[in-house]
Amino acid sequence: MQIRTRLTLQFLLIGGIIMLIASIAIYYSNANFRRNDFNSLLRSRAVSVAKLVLDSYEYNANLILRSGSGYPNRLPEEKYMILSFDKDTLYTSDKFWKLNEINYIIGQVKADKEVILRQDQFEVLGISHSTGLYNFAVIGAAIDKDGLLHMKKLRIILIIVCLISLISFSIAGWFYSGRALKPISDVVSNVDDITITSLNLRVPEGNGADEIGRLAKTFNKMLERLETSFAMQKNFIANASHELRTPLTSINGQIEVLMMKDRTADEYKSALGSVLEDIRSMIDLSNRLLLIARTSAEGPSGQSPKIRIDEILWQAQEEMKKFNPSFHINISPDSSLTDSEQIIVAGDEYLLKTAISNLIENACKYSSDNSVEIKFGSTDRWIKVIFEDRGIGIPEDDIKKIIEPFYRGNNAISYPGTGIGLSLVNQIIKNHNGTIKITSEVGVGTKITLLLPSA
């Protein structure tokens, strides 16, 4: 069911219930007034009749009753009965009148209570009347013709009013919900136009302050993120293909040149050495790309084995030095560190070592003295590892972008690299619920701080 139809029905239901309650209240309060008014008329008539019959010792009171002179006006179809408390009938204006509740009425009147009840269309009233010596029960009955007619008219009016209000409620509800939902319909029709090739489109935000405006704003923000990530993905594929094609073209060229004529064993050896280097760089790139794909697919790690961060640092140092003997890697604990328990991290040892090796490699690669100062310690519930070098530094504009895949700083172009290392580091640290902070000054050096949650 459409929201518009549902809202209209709810509108109709609420309006209908309110109208029904109001109509019932009006009807019953009117009915009550009518009965009270009529009963007080009947009461004064009954008292008059009792006085006529008992006090004036006038047993043939019917004549006087019919004339109605000097007494309250006659009531429609009125009839009266006077009985002793022993149920002897002293007087009745209608000898065919049969009253089933007579015992009940006398019982109540004896107990000094007034009785009011309904018999068919008749309002029946029972009261006691005393002549001084004796007490009698006086029963009067009459039809409130005007009152009942008035109630009938009221019923018809209320039913008509209810029907008209229900129709008005449904029309008003339909238009109101249509107006209220119009901004949503606009958003929906705009969203329909947005496809993968038109992610630059946005939905109208209206005044941007109400709920729908906020929804449109949130949706636009999501579109912005989608557009960026889609563009990044497109860039990523283009860059990755380019990075893989460069060594492949180089290998192709070298083999073609090699095959032009017969070569000496040394020439073959040197050419193969260069091809091997290109193949290694391709393997390295594909490994990093695979790791990025794996870590971004896995998301933050849950239950992981616990490892000491300094052990990973020592291992990374050893491996880096094996392949790059010129690197100077100095690792030392922070003065704040008091307990080795504070530097235990829950995570993937291989991934963390890869991230740390990348940072060590960058620091040494981009410094003329090929050295890096590493300090580890802890603050609150975090493990802190700082990598500091005195290298070329990173231009301010590049700092935010260097964690994007394949982005390389302006001043780093002459250095070997693919621009994939830091984005892999960032992904690994994010997967371990950690953060990475980079501060740098061109020509002075770079400081990279890793914060990892302590286990």
- Rounded to the nearest whole angstrom, what is the least distance from the CB of residue 404 to ligand ADP in the complex? 9
* Per-residue burial over 25-58, b = 16 or more CB atoms within 10 Å of its CB, e = otherwise: eeeeebbeebbeebbebbbebbbbbbbbbbeeee
- Rounded to the nearest whole angstrom, what is the least distance from the CB of residue 357 to ligand ADP in the complex? 11
Contact 126, 137 (CB under 8 A): yes
The length of the chain, given as a count of residues: 455
CA 408-413-414 angle, to 5 degrees, is 150
Q: Residue 379's closest CA among 454, 455, 436?
A: 454
Output the CA torsion 438→442→444→449 (10° steps): 0
Structure token digits, residue 365: 């690669």
- Rounded to the nearest whole angstrom, what is the least distance from the CB of residue 374 to ligand ADP in the complex? 12
- Rounded to the nearest whole angstrom, what is the least distance from the CB of residue 334 to ligand ADP in the complex? 20
Closest to ligand ADP by CB, 46 vs 392, is 392
- Rounded to the nearest whole angstrom, what is the least distance from the CB of residue 326 to ligand ADP in the complex? 16
Closest to ligand ADP by CB, 313 vs 422, is 422
Closest to ligand ADP by CB, 17 vs 238, is 238
Contact 423, 403 (CB under 8 A): yes
DSSP 305: -
Strand, coil or helix: what is 111?
coil
Euclidean distance between CA atoms 161 and 163, whole angstroms: 6
Closest to ligand ADP by CB, 349 vs 373, is 373
- Rounded to the nearest whole angstrom, what is the least distance from the CB of residue 327 to ligand ADP in the complex? 13
Closest to ligand ADP by CB, 127 vs 412, is 412
Structure token digits, residue 366: 């981009």
Contact 341, 378 (CB under 8 A): no
Strand partners, 122: 119, 143
* DSSP output for 244-274: HHHHHHHHHHHHHHHHTS---HHHHHHHHHH
- Rounded to the nearest whole angstrom, what is the least distance from the CB of residue 227 to ligand ADP in the complex? 24
Closest to ligand ADP by CB, 22 vs 285, is 285
Closest to ligand ADP by CB, 30 vs 370, is 370
- Rounded to the nearest whole angstrom, what is the least distance from the CB of residue 358 to ligand ADP in the complex? 6
- Rounded to the nearest whole angstrom, what is the least distance from the CB of residue 415 to ligand ADP in the complex? 7
Single-letter residue type at 311: E
DSSP 434: -
Closest to ligand ADP by CB, 201 vs 238, is 238
List of residues contacting ligand ADP (CB under 6 A): 358, 362-363, 366, 389, 391-394, 402, 408-409, 412, 417-423, 446
Contact 246, 282 (CB under 8 A): no
Closest to ligand ADP by CB, 206 vs 417, is 417
